[in-house]
Structure 1
Amino acid sequence: MSRVHDMGGRFGDGRVVPEPEAEVFHEEWHGRALAVVLAAGFLGKWNIDVSRHARECLAPTDYARFSYYEKWMAGLADLLVAKGIVTPAELAGHADAGLSALAEKKRGAAEVPGVLATGGPSERDSTIAPRFGPGDEVVTRAIAENTLVEGGHTRLPQYAAGARGRILRLHGSHVLPDSSAHGLGDAAEPLYAVVFPAAALWAHPEHPGDEVVLDLWQSYLSPA
């Protein structure tokens, strides 16, 4: 059974309505929420996979009712408390917060563009040799779950579980989110762009001839 955050292709959620490209944030606080989450990431206490999993772990009722950036802020609040950066009382405004020992990690405004431009590269050396090449037919795991941690983070979406596709290209070896999100190390392995016909993913696709390209790790795949 898919979890509440795994919504891709789920029946009954309505049409996806593209928003105007010029509208980046619906409300002023959305931009500040993004900035706060990125600034907290500079503290070095977690990585992007841990951050994603924190949002996935929100209570289903909260996940369903929160807006996009409310989910981001709720996940951040949980991480700040879990990592001991702030106390629940400080977060709720019921205690005076002193200067954090992590204050020296603060980035100045002039530094931010350069830091964001470099991103967070996930490519790593790996002893795991690529198993597939462009054009190879593959099948994804039948169940989209983390095989290392029960209920853990994974980048294999439910709608693509057990689907047949073909390798488009090899991206090199990258950090495995299923491991990285749980403090188990980078566990880098080959990452592929895999092409799936829409008809292989959904019973009644609106455009059967369309294709979907997913970036999937080698451990998610088997030869077709």
Structure 2
Amino acid sequence: MTRVHDMGGRYGDPAVIPEPQGIVPIGPEWHRKALALTLAAGGLGAWSIDTSRHARESLSPKDYARFSYYEKWMAALADLLVEKGLVTKDELAAGTAEPAGAHPKLFRAEAVGPALKRGSPYTRPGAEPAFAPGDRVRTRLPARNADIPGGHTRLPAYAAGQTGTVILSHGAHVLPDANAHGLGERPEPLYTVAFTAADLWGEAEGEGDEVTLDLWQSYLVPA
């Protein structure tokens, strides 16, 4: 079963209006605060980026559908802080920590810029790739986390069971399906796979249109 965030190919939704360069704009001041809180909380080291993505996609369908982009961030962050024992529900309601005090891993403002510039590479030593550019592959069906029922995966439902062509091999990367749930990084070879739009959607908007996805090796079998 897929979650509400897995929306590709679903009828009834409005048109997607892309932001310039795929960047969600910072609007009201609370957007800046939401971003700052997310970065500061992530700096505590209590979860991975994959865990935070799973928290957002695990919001209730009603909330996910009505929340804006940064509202989703804040709701998921609140859930994670309570789940990890960093904040209580009473503290969230009051807006004040009891007792007030700094966390030993406090992420100070002056450290944010350098940390963002360094980035967080997810390449790791790992197995040699089983596929090469030009190989035909098929994605697993259904699109699911093989270890955790209802768990996080980066294989979208609309591409499950579809056949595509490997166009790039990126080496081994952290497997989000494991990392999101504290099962270790379990790096696997990562590929960019191209699918024809007509295969995925039944018809293409333009001749030759294709969809490319970055997919881990355990999502794929030879076609």
The bucket for the TM-score relative to the shorter chain is: over 0.9
> CA contact under 8 A between 2:143 and 2:157: conserved in structure 1?
yes
The residue number in structure 1 matching 2:125 is 125
The residue number in structure 2 matching 1:185 is 184
- CA gap of 1:94–1:40, structure 2 versus 1, over 3 A, is closer
Please, which runs of 5 or more residues in structure 1 have no aligned partner? none
Q: Does 1:205 align with 2:167?
A: no
- CA gap of 1:94–1:2, structure 2 versus 1, over 3 A, is closer
- CA gap of 1:75–1:23, structure 2 versus 1, over 3 A, is closer
Out of 19-28 and 197-206, give the one that drifted further: 19-28
**TM-score for the superposition, normalised by structure 1:** 0.93
- Cα deviation digits, residues 7-57 of structure 1 (max 9, x gap): 123221121123466982232211221111111000000000000111111
SS in structure 1 at match of 2:109: coil
Please, which runs of 5 or more residues in structure 2 have no aligned partner? none
How far apart are residue 117 of structure 1 and its match? 1.0
Output the aligned Cα RMSD: 1.8
The residue number in structure 2 matching 1:216 is 215
How far apart are residue 104 of structure 1 and its match? 2.8
- CA gap of 1:190–1:16, structure 2 versus 1, over 3 A, is same
Amino acid at match of 1:29: W
Number of residue pairs matched by the alignment: 222
Amino acid at match of 1:65: R
Q: Once the two structures are aligned, what percentage of the paired residues are identical?
A: 59
Query: Runs of 4 or more off by more than 6 Å in structure 1?
Result: none
The residue number in structure 2 matching 1:144 is 143
The residue number in structure 1 matching 2:6 is 6
Return the alpha-carbon distance in structure 1 between the equivalents of residues 27 and 109 of structure 2.
Answer: 23
- CA gap of 1:198–1:28, structure 2 versus 1, over 3 A, is same
